Structure 1
Amino acid sequence: MPAEASDKRTPAPASCQKKTEAAVPPLPNPSTGSANPSASLHALWGYLHPALDHIVRAPTNNPAKAPAIDVSYHMGVHTAVYNYFTAQSDASSAPAGLAGFPARFSVQSEKAKASGADLYEQLDRYYADVAREIFLGAPADDSTLVHYLVPCFNRYAAGAQSVSRLLNYVNRHYVKRAIDEDRGWLRLADVLDAVARTIREDDTREKVQKRLRERRTEELKKWGFREGDPPGRVAQIESYAEAASAADRVVPLAALAYRRFRLEVMDQLLAVPKLKGSKGKGKKKRPPPSNGDKPPLPRGRLARAVKELLESKGGDEEEKRRLAGELAIALRTVGIKVDHPLRKKLDKFLPPEEH
């Protein structure tokens, strides 16, 4: 790549750049004047957006801790979200089709029944934008990719956890209801065929539900669940499965953020380039074998970067192991499956308490 072209590469996002000055002060509550932040999604998002940017994007000396917002702003956000959801719920419960109600009310009522879906989808788009910024800011040099990616993910994860706490009402009101309505990471249709094969005509409802629970447990075992695990560990393991789910599944806000990081960053960096076929023949051209061994298969960019990190001569070996271990945690957290070759390679660098 020519030098002048490399200078045009997207710079690293501010959140991935370490600050050298004093700690970031809490963001004060913005003045809204007489405006009601819960009047519409547009108004609510305008009130929330500065807080999200401060928590998720603001540079900080400590990537493991997101910058705070003022207590009054925190309470203001909670109140605005609560009022917005309440207004939607009230609209959905009002009788449609009665005299005095506009003709369009029945359509509005249908939309309001999924109160919170619009805000949830807006948050998903927000995380997609942030994750794409991180991906576009990645260095072109494989030798520095892991050094860039690990602190970026740690910063992003700290922000995601902080936003999840700030907007916990979305989890309690919208996400929980969606999961109860079978719109979560694991749906009845996903396990129905396997369960149906074990159901007999005389089975009670309780037996069927037991088999469904057993099937869910089987899915969690793929992420490291073991019988007797404490509830906290089970919840952590389930969050990996949630982050690994398809984009149409409703998951808690932290898992929503991690899933977007996987889709917009990790999946792109893990993608293996396709082998080019010879012109006009339509057949893939593989590299020639060396000494009778199988030809080397192409690697994704992140796999190449990890190989360079671990096999490079010189440097701080302890730092290399730390980066490899933290990258392993990141891959697991965003839902990269246990049997992925790079996860297998990196999991041995996990700290003992993380195994």
Structure 2
Amino acid sequence: MPAAVVLNPASSSSNPANSSVSLWAYLKPALDHIVKSSTNDPNGKAPAVDFVLYSGIHTACYNYFTSQSEASSATGSATARGKAPAGSSDIYDHLDRYFAEVCQEIALNTPDDESTLVHFLVPSFKRYSSGAQSANRLLSYVNRHYVKRAVDEDRGWLRLNDVLDSVVKTLTIEDTREKISKRLREKRAEELRRWGYVEGDSSERLARAEACSEAASSTDRIVPVASLAHRRFRTEVVEPLLLAPKSKGTSKAKHKIPKTPAGAAPYRPRGRLGRAVQHLMTAEDVEEDEKLRLISDLSHALETIGVRPDHALRKRIEKYLVAAAGAIDQKDGGDKVKAESSRS
């Protein structure tokens, strides 16, 4: 696998830290190498970046964000009080557009055949997510100097407005700040619980739940680079596959089919991905171990990109995985009994 081209700032026409245009031109070849290059790694691990380029990007990002802060401070802006420099958003916007374009390309390559859709999506996501994590490490200064400050400015995945309506009717001058702060903490804890976090869990489990919450946020929220990339996989690749096809034409009431009597309705997935999952679950030409692996990997991917746990497809997958785990336990128990009987 060839390494990414190393661009030496000292030999280029302009220092990458001089402007967002120069910095982005310096970053993009490395991102293409990390996110787009094919790889023979069975786990879809992203290829490494040349050490000189990696170090150069860290230095360029640091110098760019530092110069942005100094310039804003010199003009008397609010950056001196800890707010993110306005110019820093340019690189973040470049990243968002970049991940959106990469995901749109993946979406264009999705197979029309629903029997192969899950087989395509799982490795595609693994490769893309690996690249997103590598980009997150490479662009740590974006998270540190822009994302963190933007979150401090109430522009992150959880905002004051998300809880204001629920407390505004009971606020008084004396307890306004205390009540809002308490409700924000409660709202954050409530959201993290949706993603499986329980108070007292490990720091890794907390980070996982927060990353899922970030990826589940709307595109106007500022989130770390990895969550930004995962959110775009959701909006550009998966959500279109979850949509039910639009019905053609209109039907008059007299031509409507009578409703089915009340009772347990059969599961009828509407979106392409739902139908593909249902096809895989019932396929007779796929080994059970392979089914379980694919569906388990898809479940992890849907969680990572922020598809909420109460979505119909996620609940359907969870039901399948629980049943499969029960069947495996029952089989293992039966095998154990047979083994003990044969020894006696």
Q: TM-score by structure 2 length?
A: 0.83
Partner of 2:21: 42
| Equivalent residue, structure 2, for 1:15 | none
**Aligned residue type for 1:316:** E
Separation in structure 1 between the aligned mates of residue 254 and residue 39 of structure 2, nearest angstrom: 48
Shift in Å at residue 307 of structure 1?
0.8
CA contact (8 A) 1:287 1:296 kept: no
Contact 1:124 1:256 in 2 (8 A): yes
Query: How far does the alpha carbon of each residue in 1:133-157 deviate from its partner, in whole angstroms, 9 at most, with x for none?
Result: 0000001111000000000000000
Q: Which residue of 1 aligns with 2:211?
A: 239
Give the match's secondary structure for 1:143: coil
Q: Structure 2: which 5+ residue stretches go unaligned?
A: 78-83, 326-344
Does structure 2 retain, via aligned residues, the 8 Å contact 1:275–1:285? Answer: no
CA distance in 2, matches of 1:115, 1:66: 30
Distance in 2 between the 1:299 and 1:332 partners?
Answer: 20
Find the counterpart in structure 2 of residue 60 from structure 1. 39
Q: In the alignment, does 2:314 pair up with 1:343?
A: yes
**What is the one-letter code of the residue matched to 1:94?**
A
Instruction: Tell me, in whole angstroms, the C-alpha distance in 2 between the residues paired with 1:186 and 1:176.
Output: 13
CA contact (8 A) 2:241 2:271 kept: yes
For 1:27-72, what per-residue CA distance to the aligned partner results, in whole angstroms no more than 9, with x for missing partners? Answer: 3523452421122222111111110000000000124311011111
Task: Find the aligned partners of 1:289 and 1:307 in 2 and give their Cα distance.
Answer: 24
In structure 2, relative to structure 1, the CA distance for the partners of 1:253 and 1:118 (3 Å cut) is same
Return the structure number with greater helix share: 2
What are the within-5 Å matches in structure 2 for residues 147-296 of structure 1?
147-197=119-169, 199=171, 202-203=174-175, 205-206=177-178, 208-278=180-250, 281=252
Shift of 1:94: 1.8
Q: 1:330 aligns to what?
A: 301
Are residues 148 and 188 of structure 1, via their aligned partners in 2, closer, same or farther at CA, if it must alter by over 3 Å? Answer: same
Q: Which amino acid aligns with 1:71?
A: F
Aligned amino acid, residue 221 of structure 2: R
Please say if 1:122 is aligned against 2:94: yes
CA contact (8 A) 2:8 2:56 kept: no
Counterpart of 1:144, as a letter, is T
Partner of 1:29: 6
Alignment counterpart, residue 78 of structure 1, candidates 43, 58, 64: 58
Measure, in 1, the Cα distance between the counterparts of 2:269 and 2:121: 21
Structure 2 residue 275 is matched with structure 1 residue 304: yes
Tell me by how many angstroms 1:266 deviates.
Answer: 0.6
Which deviates more from structure 2 when the two are superposed, residues 249-258 or residues 187-196? 187-196
Given that 2:110 and 2:117 are in contact with CA atoms closer than 8 Å, whether structure 1 keeps it comes out as yes
Q: Is the 8 A contact 1:275 1:284 kept in 2?
A: no
Which residues of structure 1 form unaligned runs of 5+?
1-23, 97-104, 106-111
| Cα distance in structure 2, aligned partners of 1:86 and 1:132 | 33
Question: Counterparts of 2:254 and 2:109 in 1: how far apart (Å)?
Answer: 32
Equivalent of 1:319, from 264, 276, 290? 290
Deviation for aligned residue 1:270: 0.4
Segment drifting more, 302-311 vs 204-213:
204-213
| Alpha-carbon distance in 1 for matches of 2:191, 2:167 | 13
Distance in 1 (alpha carbons) for counterparts of 2:152 and 2:255:
50
Identity %: 54
| Matched AA of 1:73 | L
Q: Is the 8 A contact 1:289 1:295 kept in 2?
A: no
Question: In structure 1, what is the Cα distance between the partners aligned to 2:255 and 2:20?
Answer: 53
TM superposition shift of 1:269: 0.4
- List per-residue Cα deviations over 1:263-317 (Å, max 9, x = no partner): 00010000112333436x5x69766667887698561000010111110112221
Q: CA deviation at 1:199?
A: 4.4
- Distance, in Å, in 2 between the alignment partners of 1:306 and 1:43 is 44
CA gap 1:155/1:287 in 2 versus in 1, 3 angstroms: farther
Partner residue, 1:19: none
CA distance in 1, matches of 2:144, 2:198: 27
Could you tell me which residue of structure 1 aligns to residue 67 of structure 2? 87
CA 1:203–1:58 in 2, change beyond 3 Å: closer, same or farther?
Answer: same
Secondary structure at the aligned position of 1:250 is classed as coil
Residue 73 of structure 2 corresponds to residue 69 of structure 1: no
What's the offset of the Cα at 1:343? 0.5
Query: What is aligned with 1:141?
Result: 113
Mark the CA change 1:144 to 1:253 in structure 2 (over 3 Å): closer, same or farther: same
Contact 1:287 1:295 in 2 (8 A): no
SS of aligned partner of 2:197:
coil
TM-score (norm 1): 0.81
Instruction: State how far apart, in whole Å, the 1-side matches of 2:110 and 2:222 are.
Output: 29
Cα distance in 2 between the residues matched to 1:30 and 1:84: 16
